Structures are given as structure tokens and as C-alpha cells.
A and B are shown apart, each in its own frame.
Chain A
Amino acid sequence: MTPFTYAKPESVAQAVRSGAGHQSDAKSSALDFFAGGTDMVQLMQERVRNPEHVVDITGLPQLDRIEVGEQSTRLGALVRMSDAASHPHIVEVFPVVAEALLASASPQVRNLATLGGNLLQRTRCGYFRDVVTPCNKRIPGSGCPAIDGQNRGLAILGTSQRCIATYAGDFANALMVLDASVLIAGSAGLRTVALADLHRQPGDTPHLETHLQPGELIVAIELPHLAVGLRSHYLKVRDRTSFAFALASVAVGLDMASDGTVRDARIAVGGVATTPWRLPRVEQALRGHKLDAELCRAASALASADAVPHGQNAFKVTLLERVVARGLEETGGLA
């Protein structure tokens, strides 16, 4: 690990003033926030990120709390994944969140990793993580060997000519179907951004992964209680049963009438897209219809309408449709 300096601010204001960054190219990573460290240490050990300064934010007050309010639940950015996954209110009201968290990483990693950091975890693309290869995300303009290379795990949705790296997280996909937002502290104060607007598609600037500005810090995640009563569920398909990143995953939220008619549907998928990814066409195909196996199949066939496969990852087109169908059936009590 490259030597760095260390500071531990005691307030959000101090942390924000440090100006620590989030973007991915090596040049702009002089100063990094550090919390759970589960991805940061991997990136530093493999020289993908080489910060000159590390700002330890684990001493910031109040950010390790889960607060259940009248109209929303607020998850502090420093809440550990394991604590959120076992919180009785989360388990009962937002099962898709608890299930997505428990489907992530290992018990040891979940005890360290924070919710805020989880949202900002970096892609597992092997070229991004291997500093001897070109990568537009790591070194802008250097090229993307993945597009014609080892891309079995990479994305089929939201890709560009510059980058097809998969967004690796599970938690963010669950948040997508709950209309969650993130509370961000910056030098001008606090702002709220919909989770759906936090991440950026790669386009021509794959090194810019979020809309966070230098110094900005996610301080909390807000779950509106509008989603209470939603049947929700997370299904993740991997190469092995546990402790692996998704080949394809689906977060499902269904609002169903007692006769099985879908009043509202929210679907987000992981392991197949460059950002957390909603499937509005699938949702639209479900609304107003009675959920049965045929509807699940027909709607899920629309999941891959925009898919662009790149050789090794072509199997994900069919896998995505089947995972969405299975996720719908399980959520709706059909499987």
C-alpha cells in the first residue's frame, strides 16, 4: 500500500472541508474518504487507488444510527451492512433491503462495510482492478480491453463504446425499488438526491461514476414509508451459492390487490448493468394485470429489450429474463 497521511475529523463540516474525492482516475485520487475500508483497502493494496491523504470518517457523530420516523426511515451512512440487515424494522418493512444486504459479501465483510461506502463500491471488472492493463475508467482515454476481451461478468445494459463495467452492488438495487434517496453533505450544506440519480452511466466519461462533487459526503439514506405494504424481495444468481458477485440479480417491489392484480410494480436489476438499473417496460407490462406465471414470463421478456451483449456475456440476456421472471414469481407467491 502506498504511504499516505491520516486524519480523523470529528464533524461532518471538517470532513467536507477536507475536499476528499470519489472519482476513479488515479490522478484525482489524492485525497480519499475512508470508512469500512472493505473496497478501499483492496483498491489500495492493488494500487488501483493511491491516495496521498486518507480521511477516516468513522468518528463522525450520529451517522451510525437507524432512525425510524413517521414518514421515512433514515439509515446513517456509517451503519454497518450487518446491522442494517438484522434491524427488526428493516427486516419487517423493507425485506428487499435486508435480503440484498445478506446476499452481499461475507459476514466478516458485512461487519466492516458501511452503507454509504457500499453504494460507492467500484466495479469488479478485471481490467479496472489490474493496473498493468489499459482501462478508460482508471486511466481516461487508455482504452477498454474488456469490450473484446474477458467480459463474462460485465454489463449488457447501459454500456458505451468506452466502458462495459458492471455496477457490482446489491443494496443500491434494492433501494431503487423503494424510491430511496441519499442525503449528501457538501460545502454549501445538505442536498438530497434520488438514488436513481446518484450514479452516472459511463458514456464518454467512465471515470466519473457518480454525481458527487469533491468533498461531498453521503451522510444518510432515506427510505420513504410510501413503500410500506409493498411486497418486496431480492433474488441473486451467482457462480456459487454464497460470497460472490451477481451474474444477474433482481429487486422486486409489488403492490398487489387481494385478487392478485398488480397495482404497481418496481423492478431493478444488478450484475447486468453499468449502474443500478430500473426496468420501466417490465413494470408497465405488469401494472393492471393479474399476476400469474404467463404474465411473469411475458413481462420479463421485455427485460433485455435494450441489451447489448459483448461475446462472453451473451448468456446474460437469457439469464436476465429468467431471473426477473423467477423474482416476480417468488415475490408474488407463485414459486
Chain B
Amino acid sequence: MVAPESSYGEESVPPTSGAAPAVEPHTIRSVDVDLTINGAQHRLASLDVNATLLDCLRDALHLTGTKKGCGLGQCGACTVLVDGRRVNACLCLAVMQQGKQITTIEGIGIEGDLHVLQSAFIRHDAFQCGYCTSGQIMSGLACIHEGHTRSDDEVREWMSGNLCRCGAYTNIVAAVREAAQGSVAK
């Protein structure tokens, strides 16, 4: 089989003998981390490298709009955008997010000037307890941007990473579809 032309470091993998020491230095347990969140720069001095982006947002930066549900990527309550793509903040190490644009629920609208999707959630009563709501809205934003809103079924499939234990799904789907259609002005 002839592979496409490319290099995967074929030339640079040296023989075992005389190899340089493992990645140097391998002793870093904490490090200064620069994060760009909602357009603002934040320096976190001496952050533990095992800190998740979620814990960093909530505990170090007090951006508590992003919620911690399962902490295992299974509920979607911690959904944020990284370079415009929705991800589970609980599965990301903060140290790996440097140089990326992070958007949280605090960055999309403010009281009195809500994002159209936030307004749609209110209008459609798309929550009861509200714990999953910021994650639902961040995921819904991405879902709309990705174009996965052509039917209720498509929205359900592409919002399946966000659980709502109150069961507000019907109204969440309606809110996402309304915002996608842009039928209601901000």
C-alpha cells in the first residue's frame, strides 16, 4: 500500500540507544496559565496542571454560570465554547486551553440585553430548576451554528449531550428551533 506523501516524524525518530532523556523537564506540577475568556485575558498564577477548565472557571475565576454536574462528560451542564466549538469543560485540562478563545454563558448576554437564545428559553419556559440551562444554551448556540436545527428530531439528536433531569426537553427543542429560525428579534 502506498501512503499519501507526508511526514509523521519518520526521519526524526532516533534509535533507542543514546536517546536523549525523556521530555525535559518532567517535573512541572503547577504553571502560570493565560486564558482568554469572553474576550478578556486572565492570568492564573501557579495553577495545578491537573485542574480542569471547569474547576478553573468556577473556583479560580468565579465564573459560576458554568455548572458542574457529573464531572465526567456525561451530562453537559459544563458546556462551553472553545474556539467556537462546544466542549465539556469538565473533560478539559485548563493548562491545555492557552491561546484559545473560551466563551461561557457570561459572555453571550447580560441582564437587560439577553442573547436571542436566552430570551427564547425564557419565552418557552425551557427550564424548571435551571441547573442544566447554561449548558443547554451554550450547546444550543453551537447546535444552531452547526446547522443541526432542521427538525425537532435533528435538534434532539444534536442536543443529546445535555441532560435535563426536570425533563424540559420539549420546550428546549422549541426554544432552540425558534432562535435558529431567527423569527424573534433580540
Say which one of A185-193, A285-293, A304-312 lies at the interface with B: A185-193
- In the complex, what distance in Å separates the CA atom of A271 from the CA atom of B9? 35
Any chain A CB within 8 A of the CB of B110? no
B-contacting residues, A15-71, CB 8 Å: 15-19, 34, 36-38, 41-42, 44-46, 53-56, 58, 60-63, 65, 67-71
A222 close to B (CB within 8 Å): yes
Residue A91 lies at the interface, judged by CB distance under 8 Å to chain B: no
Taking the complex as formed, is A282 at the interface, i.e. its CB lies under 8 A from any CB of chain B? Answer: no
User: Contacts A62-B6, A107-B139, A107-B143 known; A5 to B87 CB distance under 8 Å?
Assistant: no
User: Is the CB–CB distance between B88 and A6 below 8 Å?
Assistant: no
Contact A74 B3 (CB under 8 A): yes
Whether A224 contacts B160 by the Cβ 8 Å rule is no
Binds B, one of A108-116, A165-173, A259-267: A108-116
Q: Indicate if the CB atoms of B91 and A41 lie closer than 8 Å.
A: yes
* A220 contacts the other chain (CB 8 A): yes
Q: Is the interface of A mostly helix, strand, loop or mixed?
A: mixed
Q: Say how far B79's CB is from chain A's closest CB, in angstroms.
A: 6
A112: chain B residues at CB < 8 Å are: 87-88, 91-92
Whether B14 pairs with A220 at a CB distance below 8 angstroms is no
Q: Is the CB of A108 within 8 A of B87?
A: yes
Q: Do A7 and B12 touch across chains, with their CB atoms under 8 A apart?
A: no
Which A residues from 175 to 197 make CB contacts under 8 A with B? 181, 183, 185-190
* A15 contact set on B, CB distance < 8 A: 23
**C-beta contact mask, B70-106 vs A, less than 8 Å → 1, else 0?**
0111001001000001111011110110000000000
Complex alpha-carbon distance, A69 and B1, angstroms: 11
Instruction: Report if B56 contacts A (CB, 8 A).
Output: no
How many whole Å from B94's CB to the nearest CB in chain A? 11
Question: Can you list, as one digit per residue, whether each of A208-237 has a CB less than 8 Å from chain B (1) or not (0)?
Answer: 000000000001101010000000000000
Q: Are A185 and B22 also in contact (CB < 8 A) when A3-B50, A38-B73 are?
A: no
Inter-chain CA distance A55–B95, complex, in Å, is 12
Q: Name the segment of B27-35, B119-127, B172-180 touching the other chain.
A: B27-35
Q: Does A72 contact B (CB under 8 A)?
A: yes
Contact, CB under 8 Å: B9 / A12: yes
Does residue B111 face the partner (Cβ distance < 8 Å to A)? no
Asked if A58 and B96 make an inter-chain contact with CB atoms under 8 angstroms apart, the answer reads yes
- Complex contact B85–A72 (CB within 8 A): no
The closest CB in chain B to the CB of A242 belongs to B160
Residues of chain A with a CB closer than 8 A to B22's CB: 17-19
**Nearest-Cβ distance from residue B27 to partner chain A, whole angstroms:** 6
- Say whether B8 contacts A69, CB under 8 Å: no
Across the interface, A187 reaches (CB within 8 A) one of B16, B88, B96, B139, namely B16
| Contact (A3, B9) CB under 8 Å given A18-B23, A112-B88, A222-B1 | no
B65 neighbours in A (Cβ, 8 Å): none
Complex: how many Å from CA A46 to CA B91? 13
In the complex, which residues of chain A have a beta carbon less than 8 angstroms from the beta carbon of B91? 36-38, 41-42, 109, 112
Question: How far apart are B113's CB and chain A's nearest CB, in angstroms?
Answer: 27
Pair B1/A224 contact, Cβ less than 8 Å: yes
Which of A71, A106, A111 has the most C-beta atoms of chain B within 10 angstroms of its own C-beta?
A106
Answer whether residue A241 sits at the interface, using C-beta atoms and an 8 A cutoff: yes
- A residues adjacent to B (C-beta < 8 A): 1-9, 11-19, 34, 36-38, 41-42, 44-46, 53-56, 58, 60-63, 65, 67-74, 82, 105-109, 111-112, 181, 183, 185-190, 219-220, 222, 224, 241-243
Can you report 6 A-B residue pairs in the complex whose CB atoms are below 8 A from each other? A3-B48, A37-B93, A37-B96, A41-B72, A188-B16, A242-B156
Seed contacts A44-B50, A67-B6, A108-B79; 5 additional CB < 8 Å A-B pairs: A7-B28, A56-B96, A187-B13, A222-B1, A241-B157
